[in-house]
Structure 1
Amino acid sequence: MSRRRLAAAGLSVLALAGCTRGVVEGGDPTASAGIPPAITVATADFPSFWLAEQIGGDAAEVETVDPAEVADTDADLFAYVPGIDPEVDAAAATLPAERVVDLSDDVSRIGSPRDVEVKDPYIWFDPVNLSTMAQTLGTAMSKANPAAFEAYQFYGLRTISVQSEALQVDQRLQEQLNPCRVATLVVEAPVLTYFARAYAFDQVPLISWEPANDPVPALYYTIDAEAAVREAAGANGAQAIGVDTLTESAPEDDLLQGLLDLGDEVARHQNCPLVTPSSSDRPG
């Protein structure tokens, strides 16, 4: 992990550390904290759902709502990542601001390669961003809970646990991907913007890729464009590799496992000679 990424991540973790003094490392991070009353959290995407469950534990009831249900939710909080679904964005704007948690609020967002005015929503493809998202949600959940002291301690400890795991995954990916000899990721849709920035790749849209000048061993696609990408891959001696955006689910219902699986795929196809143990060897 670079010093810049480590420093930024460390500040994110320390922001919630004030309520954790005297806690012994190891074991259940909330063993010494009282469990506050449960709050309800509605979510519209899997990354938000996963974070709410990890941070909330026994002190949160988490549900996923369809876009048509967002405006009518009576949950204490509605957590989401804007930009994934315009219908969700419009419905979220009708809710009271104090009940809405935009998990991208504290993340440095990147303009889409197709339109720099549109921010790329796939922020969770960088585990350091995921750590920041956890802090944003943990703070909002603490504020929303009526048992303020217990809530800040309980959610704060669980937030730090999530952040620690996210940073361990980031370190694993840094070690796995920094030696890659093929630095170009050719993608059908620019969903790997944050992943590419974090691990020193150049993301090139398939439509602007010049195979004669920049040959690559793999082309990456989302499900909707599989046929077209397989055709392009076959014509240029490359493999077509599917990318799960993780917006609806993740392997083993674990967002970090989804990132590790992606790292394995990229390492195998971008000529990364120093491949670390398989993603099944989950850190944390």
Structure 2
Amino acid sequence: MTFRPAPRALATATAALLALTGVAACSTDDSPAGADPERVDVVAGFYPLQFLAEQIGGDAVAVTNLARPGAEPHDLELNPGQVGQISEAELVLFLDGFQPAVDEAVEQNAGDRAFDVAGVQPLLDAAAGGHDHGGEHADEDEHGHDEEEAHAEEEPAEGESGAKDPHVWLDPTRLATIGDKLAERLGAVDPDRAGDYTQRATALRTELEKLDAEFTEGLKTCQRREIVVSHAAFGYLTQKYQLEQIGISGLSPEDEPSPQRLAVVAEEAREHQATTIFFETLVSPKVAETIAQEVGAQTAVLDPIEGLSEGNGADYLSVMRTNLQTLRTALSCS
């Protein structure tokens, strides 16, 4: 049965009641889409897409994040209410390949209302930004990163597995480009406010370019350039800022590293005199702590910003800046 919206008078009364009871414009509940007729109803698969929609949509949008605060979004399972939200939303933001349950629901229910941010720019190969195990690496100096940087600007070749890295938001300039495209899509849905969306996207681009400049300057001169991370989510960040990631596990934080992999990571951590083994907020730090104990390093949080911890008041920009300070300390940057 096709969902039929309530009469406008009832919808308006409902919106007024929600406003009186202090319901926020962004939610993660299972309320039906279209509750506020004055706003564009947007459903986002996970936090960075919520951030974009809120920044660019402003008061003109009502954003629902399918992934609840504090939950790891990779393995999100949707309940019937959330599938209904996708069916009724005016725009659905998702990243194909990142959340299989969302991909399936979008394919079956969203139609041309879906916006796949993975299609804005070519995604990097899953191995991008990783550690070079070749014999020449020991002789690399800071000039050895030039070729990496040039390669990062090219469309990556398919790896043997064909896997792509979805963590595109960790490059602020790529996130800004996605934001520009989102403004276009919102303008198509809501032509009367298209100019407002474009203006806010331009303002967000300015903020993200400022953040990019802070990372570029802050990581320019560091004693080390290798980061040991709990899962290989930082390929975009390491490519952009000429670092190298050594991932304990692969693209998914749920991947269990083998004993052989743990031994390899420990050896590389010693080789590069790593002082810090990074873990993240939404998964267990136990593996990172094991490596750190073995090599005599400490642990610290490096947040891939797949989601936010509940009630900490942070946003994408503040978490990225915290990440920058964490990296500067761990890599002894001047």
TM-score in terms of structure 2 length: 0.66
**1:122 pairs with one of 138, 157, 167:** 167
Answer with 1 or 2: which has the greater Rg.
2
CA contact (8 A) 1:71 1:94 kept: no
The 8 Å contact of residues 39 and 60 in structure 2, kept in 1 or not, is answered as yes
Q: Report 1:11-30 matches (<5 A).
A: none
2:86 aligned with 1:85: no
Does 1:132 find its partner at 2:177? Answer: yes
- The 8 Å contact of residues 226 and 242 in structure 1, kept in 2 or not, is answered as no
Rounded to whole Å, the distance in 2 between the matches of 1:201 and 1:131 is 21
What CA distance in whole angstroms lies between the structure 2 residues aligned with 1:63 and 1:224?
A: 23
Match of 1:169 in 2: 211
Give the corresponding residue for 1:72. Answer: 84
- Report how far residue 186 of structure 1 moved: 1.3
Distance 1:171 1:84 in 2: 28
Deviation at 1:243, TM superposition (A): 2.6
How far the C-alpha of 1:201 sits from its partner, in A, is: 0.3
**1:226 aligned partner:** 285
What is residue 214 of structure 1 aligned with on the other side? 272
DSSP-derived class of the 1:118 partner: coil
1:144 alignment counterpart: 189
Q: Give, as a single letter, the amino acid of the residue that structure 2 aligns with 1:174.
A: T
Distance 1:217 1:233 in 2: 8
> For 1:188 and 1:201, how far apart are their aligned partners in 2?
16
- Tell me the percent identity: 22
In the alignment, what sits opposite 1:237? 296
* Whole-Å separation in 2 of the counterparts to 1:211 and 1:79: 38
> In the superposition, relative to structure 1, how do residues 220 and 76 fare at CA in structure 2: closer, same or farther (>3 Å)?
same
* Separation in structure 2 between the aligned mates of residue 249 and residue 212 of structure 1, nearest angstrom: 32
3-state secondary structure, aligned to 2:231:
coil
Residue 263 of structure 2 corresponds to residue 262 of structure 1 = no
Q: 1:29-68 residue pairs with structure 2 within 5 A?
A: 38-65=39-66, 67-68=78-79
109, 128, 139: which is aligned to 2:123? 109
Return the alpha-carbon distance in structure 2 between the equivalents of residues 111 and 225 of structure 1. Answer: 26
Ranges in structure 1 where 5+ consecutive residues have no aligned partner: 1-36, 274-284
One-letter code aligned to 2:40: I
- What is the CA distance between 1:225 and its match in structure 2? 4.2
Distance 1:200 1:165, change over 3 A: same
236-245 or 42-51: bigger deviation? 236-245
Provide the aligned length of Structure 1 versus Structure 2. Answer: 235
- Larger RCO (CA within 8 A; separation ≥ 6): 1
Q: Which residue identity does 2:100 align to in structure 1?
A: P
- Between the aligned partners of 2:313 and 2:117, the Cα distance in structure 1 is 22
> Are the counterparts in 2 of residues 70 and 92 from structure 1 also a CA contact under 8 Å?
no
